[in-house]
Structure 1
Amino acid sequence: MTLTVAARGDAQRAIDAQVPALVEHLVASRITAGDSTLWGPAAEAEASIRLGWTQAVSVSRPLVAEIVALREQLVERGISRIVLCGMGGSSLAPEVITRTAGVPLVVLDSTDPGQVATALGEHLGHTAVVVSSKSGSTVETDSQKRSFEAAFRDAGIDPAERIVIVTDPGSPLEQASLAAGYRVFTADPTVGGRYSALTAFGLVPSGLAGVDLDALLDEAEAASLPLAVDSASNPGLQLGAAIAGTVPLRDKLVIVADGTHIVGLGDWVEQLIAESTGKDGRGVLPVVVGIDAPELTSGAADVQVVRLVADARATREVADGEIELSGSLGAHLLTWQYATAVAGVLLGINPFDQPDVESAKVAARGLLDARPEPLAAQFADGGIEVVGPASLLGGASTVADAVRALEAALPDGGYVAVQAYLDRIAHPELEAVRHLIAARTGRPVTFGWGPRFLHSTGQYHKGGPARGVFLQVTGTLADDLAIPDRPFTYGQLIAAQAAGDAAVLAEKGMPVVTLRVRDADGIAAIIAALS
């Protein structure tokens, strides 16, 4: 039930070089004991209130019976559809837990009007909604909550019968929700959002959707003792050393599912690693890819491949330079958390804060207040508007020209980030752009759905090594959607989030090109231009 780590090449050399010192300094047992001094004086105050995840299994056990009882009540009332409104760790952990268990959960982590409208409009009479936010101030989640409250009222349904709140004890959201008569679950406040998979934030929506929570916690509990022991066989120490201890640092962590039964783990790991390590100009960038991704065979010196397999020792000999991981979902969740904390020790950064996430939020709020006209396009190509600095685009007159200009701006050791502020449920075909650009450039390419990625790789892009170039794809949003009791719409919100993030990146001197599309034909044209 524990996680098995198998490695060769630089990854194994990093394990051999780093783990003995980690064992000598009692890093594993100090993390488990809540020793906040491991990451240096500057991180001590934050770390002192962020290590509760090491005890999450025992703290969460009493929640299971409450969650199961509520699920039974909802089923008796004809509820067959659970929607989760949350961002970052509040949505990514339940998504991987439910997908792996094979139970349905609608995850609404977007401000795209079409995606929100679909979630609101389908089977409302049989729907219950989990609203997850540590404080309740997250603009996306607050907007979604308002929309479901209004939709339930319009349908003659009392929102208090259908909305379940997950938040921190004493938060403004808890106080308001209790006053409104909502069912409220509180989580351990000493756990940050991206480490919250095994707390109420991961368990309430998953359990209400039908996941066997006792089995998940059993898996994590079986892994907990090996992770707490100061031993060379500790998989958390091994994985942390392999991803953050190579010399020179292989700082592009290419993650591929290759036989594992776990569905979507890479997206959860992406947020955990990127938001935890991307700061102070340092960090490790997770790059989630498919089995045929160009990054797997590029041979780039800064790429570290991690394969998620069924059995790391029995399937085949580990490829040179790669890491293979196998284990249960519960073991993966807890081990990656330990490994991330260990990576913070090795990189000399605080793995519990996210200082650059707020910058994009501030920029978006400013744009919502000011409502400036959208930036003028440099040119249009077949209905696709191309926005970017003239100094970068030069004489470009087509989408293909614009992307080539962006690719030409790649620095040594650089990467491309494709960021799509569109409906991810309706347009999964856009993810093909990631593979196409990786094949063209020979460099790692990340793909993020906005605004979801702002709570994930958004921290790394602005706080990690400044080696990224950025391709945004946004919509013109002909079909907008109002947000109840707010002076802005979902269309205005997602446009401000895209523009705000682009502005922050540009201020940091990083190249950004934006492609505005009207419809699915525009998406198809982008894919065709890059093929």
Structure 2
Amino acid sequence: MAGETTGVEIVDAALASEAAPFAERLVADQVASKLASQDATLWGPEAESEASIRLSWTTLHKSSRPLIGEIEALRTDLRSEGVDRVVLAGMGGSSLAPEVITATDGVPLTVLDTTDPGQVADALAGDLERTVIVVSSKSGGTVETDSHRRIFAKAFADAGIDAARRIVVVTDPGSPFAELSEKEGYRKVFLADPNVGGRYSALTAFGLVPAGLAGADVARLLDQAASVADELAADSVDNPAVKLAAAWGAAHEKKGAEKLVIATVPSKEGGSVLKGFADWAEQLIAESTGKQGTGLLPVAVEGPDSPGFADAKGDATPVAVGQAEGAAKISVTGSLGAQFLLWEFATALAGRLLGINPFDQPDVEAAKKAARSLLDNPDKLKGGDEPSTVDGAVEVFGSEGVVTDGKLADILRAFFDSAPETGYIAVQAYLDRLDDASTAVLRGEIAKRTGRQTTFGWGPRFLHSTGQYHKGGHQNGVFLQITGAVEDDLDVPDRPYTLGVLQHAQALGDGQVLAEHGRPVLRLHLTDRAAGLAELVRAVQEAGE
């Protein structure tokens, strides 16, 4: 895989022709070389301040090298103590990159990017004697990650284990979390480059530390990125990042194709499938471009034969990560490290073409504020929570104007029909993504039966990803929230709420913000998760008949 060719092929001849002027514009403006030299003026005066402190990712293949020895030394020490199980507490860019790195390398990593009590309890049920938890947060203020740290610290202490020796931290220099970590005496604090935003942090300590401790070959990852760095910095129409960004920009401007449907497939050289890569790319692209009423909505699908990819309409561009198959209009090949850097470059270049700042996330905080408000006012969290309809194990709630009366299938049919033909349906599952993993089948079922592009996200993880696009991107989405009863809740030490309450507040808070933006929100609460999910799948199938 290390020697795999990196390249972008615009398979669709019409798209290739339309993309050519966009590529030539990027080359004429020397955007690639200026990006590589960290020119903060590329996205206009309003973006310059933010961009000036967000461009160090372009040289991480060099600057992250010293981390390799530190990671290996810590891994060796931990293994000598019998500690070989790695749990990662992180959200968004702090979890998606390590997950794809370890999955592609075939090494185990337990990722906690959830507030579901069942999923966290399962992680706690692992062998704590063999466990180290990596807590990754730029500031330490991320509520999910802070909750995980508190819960695991107490679990270690209750088991007679020195918690400080089992907690490894990745954070920014001088952050409140760095200060807390020093005060608590945590085992090791890795300081990441502060001039890199979370979604561009795959090759910083945030991506490399948990993956390396789990056993992934992170030195090879940096080698792979280094192998394409010069090519990506070249002002040439053959630059893969220029080609990719130009294709995205042309499809968006010329065809109204505001969605990228991404499937991972084996590459032409026989390299391994980059497992989970579409989820990583989803955050990078959605959060970087989805603002000011424009942007590119990534739709991560199961494969090239999946609904939404194989039958993509004019509002979407199918992109194969690996060998071009079926309906793919663009094929992107290369090793994982090379693709990390390629897609980051392409996304930044696409920001230039779209006329937006690819490094801010102005709408992400809204859902967090709404959730905090609900946590601070428990009566609001409980009040007004009577369902409009109960159908078996499914309770139905809806924002203003959403049909919530009748059979579940009829409610769903009306809801799906409310999405514009070139809009999208977002399924947001605030459930356990391991025990309730079958919920993900809803994406394909809905896409197949409605003919509309359909995304699927686990809450609250997607709030750090597509959550930005939902509020700031093209305003043509409808939002299906799925929440579930909590059988065994978990207290968050020294906090006035449980994980279950936090999860509920996050769902309601995001729904509230979406409704304030005038977006239709239908929430289905499963009073029995297994039974409710089965009923929901049947209702989706019936709604599409």
Letter in 1 for 2:318: V
Distance between the aligned counterparts of 2:263 and 2:377, measured in 1? 42
| Residue among 282, 288, 293 paired with 2:294 | 282
Superposed, 1:170-319 pairs within 5 Å as 170-182=174-186, 183-246=188-251, 247-260=254-267, 261=272, 262-291=274-303, 292-310=305-323
Q: Which amino acid aligns with 1:208?
A: L
Q: Identify if the C-alpha distance between structure 1 residues 390 and 270 changes in structure 2 by more than 3 Å, giving closer, same or farther.
A: closer
Paired residue for 1:443, among 452, 466, 469?
A: 452
Equivalent residue letter for 1:228: A
Divergent runs of 4+, >4 A: 318-321
Find the aligned partners of 1:97 and 1:496 in 2 and give their Cα distance.
31
Deviation at 1:412, TM superposition (A): 3.9
Query: Which segment is superposed worse, 354-363 or 117-126?
Result: 117-126
> In 2, Cα distance between the equivalents of 1:425 and 1:17?
45
Q: Residue in 2 aligned with 1:17?
A: 21
Instruction: Look up the SS of the partner of 1:245 in the other structure.
Output: helix
Give the equivalent residue in structure 1 for 2:35: 31
The amino acid of 2:333's aligned partner reads S
Q: CA deviation at 1:320?
A: 6.8
Q: Is contact 1:9-1:321 (8 Å) kept?
A: no
Contact 2:398/2:523, CA 8 A, preserved across alignment: yes
After superposition, where does 1:23-422 map in structure 2 within 5 Å? 23-182=27-186, 183-246=188-251, 247-260=254-267, 261=272, 262-291=274-303, 292-310=305-323, 322-371=329-378, 372=380, 373=382, 375-389=385-399, 391-393=401-403, 396-422=405-431
- Quick one: which amino acid aligns to residue 192 of structure 2? A
Q: Is the 8 A contact 2:421 2:452 kept in 1?
A: no
Contact kept? 1:244, 1:284, Cα under 8 Å? no
- 1:506 corresponds, among 499, 512, 515, to 515
SS at match of 1:191: coil
- Taking structure 2 as the reference length, what is the TM-score of the superposition? 0.94
Code of the residue aligned with 1:300 in structure 2: it is: K
The answer to whether the 8 Å contact 1:2/1:223 transfers is no
Contact 1:38 1:345 in 2 (8 A): yes
Cα offset, 1:104, TM superposition = 0.3
TM-superposed deviation, 1:213:
1.4
Q: 8 Å contact 2:309–2:328 — kept in the other structure?
A: no
In 2, the alpha carbon distance for the partners of 1:18 and 1:320 equals 23
Distance 2:401 2:480 in 1: 16
Which residue among 408, 433, 439 is the counterpart of 1:430? 439
The alignment partner of 1:217 has SS state of helix
Shift of 1:529: 1.6
Distance across 2 between alignment mates of 1:3 and 1:346? 23
On the 8 A contact 2:471/2:514 being kept in 1, the answer is yes
**CA shift digits 1:19-63 (9 cap, x unpaired):** 111111110010011111110111010000000000111110011
3-state SS of the aligned residue for 1:514? strand
Residue 150 of structure 1, CA deviation: 0.5
- Secondary structure at the counterpart of residue 474 of structure 1: strand
Is the 2:22–2:249 Cα contact (8 Å) retained in structure 1?
no
For 1:76, the aligned partner's letter is S
- Alpha-carbon distance, 1:164 to partner: 0.3
Tell me, in whole angstroms, the C-alpha distance in 2 between the residues paired with 1:382 and 1:81. Answer: 41
AA paired with 2:540?
L
| Contact in 2 for aligned 1:5/1:238 (Cα 8 Å) | yes
Cα displacement (A) at 1:399: 1.7
Counterpart in the other structure of 1:529? 539
Amino acid corresponding to residue 404 of structure 1 in structure 2: R
Instruction: Please give the secondary structure, in 2, of the residue aligned with 1:211.
Output: coil
Rounded Cα–Cα distance in structure 2 between residues aligned with 1:299 and 1:199: 35
Counterpart Cα distance in 2 of 1:277 and 1:143: 30
Report Cα offsets for 1:242-301 as digits up to 9, x if no partner: 122221331110001122421110000000000000000000000011223221233411
Deviation at 1:476, TM superposition (A): 2.0
Question: Which shows bigger deviation, 445-454 or 283-292?
Answer: 283-292
Does the CA contact (< 8 Å) of 2:98 and 2:211 recur in 1? yes
- Which shifted more, 381-390 or 139-148? 381-390
State the alpha-carbon separation in 2 of the partners of residues 352 and 287 from structure 1: 21
Q: Calculate percent identity across the aligned residue pairs.
A: 54
Contact 2:526 2:532 in 1 (8 A): yes
- TM-score under structure 1 normalisation? 0.97
Contact 2:256–2:314 (Cα < 8 Å) also in 1: no
- Judged with a 3 Å threshold, the aligned counterparts in structure 2 of structure 1 residues 98 and 422 are, in CA distance, closer, same or farther, namely same
Q: 1:6 aligns with which of 5, 9, 17?
A: 9
Structure 2: which amino acid aligns with 1:393? V
Letter in 1 for 2:136: S
Which secondary structure does the structure 2 equivalent of 1:305 belong to?
Answer: strand
Whole-angstrom distance in 2 between the partners of 1:171 and 1:11: 45
Structure 2: which amino acid aligns with 1:210? G
- Cα deviation for residue 428 of structure 1 reads 1.1
Q: Distance in 2 between matches of 1:2 and 1:230?
A: 20
Cα drift, residue 439 of structure 1: 1.0
Question: Which residue of structure 2 aligns with residue 469 of structure 1?
Answer: 478
Q: Which amino acid aligns with 1:297?
A: A
- Counterpart-to-counterpart distance in 2, 1:34 and 1:73: 37
Which whole-Å deviations, capped at 9, do the CAs of 1:140-181 have from their partners, x for residues lacking one? 000000001101110111111111000000000001101211
Q: Secondary structure at the match of 1:392?
A: coil
Q: Is the 8 A contact 1:2 1:331 kept in 2?
A: no
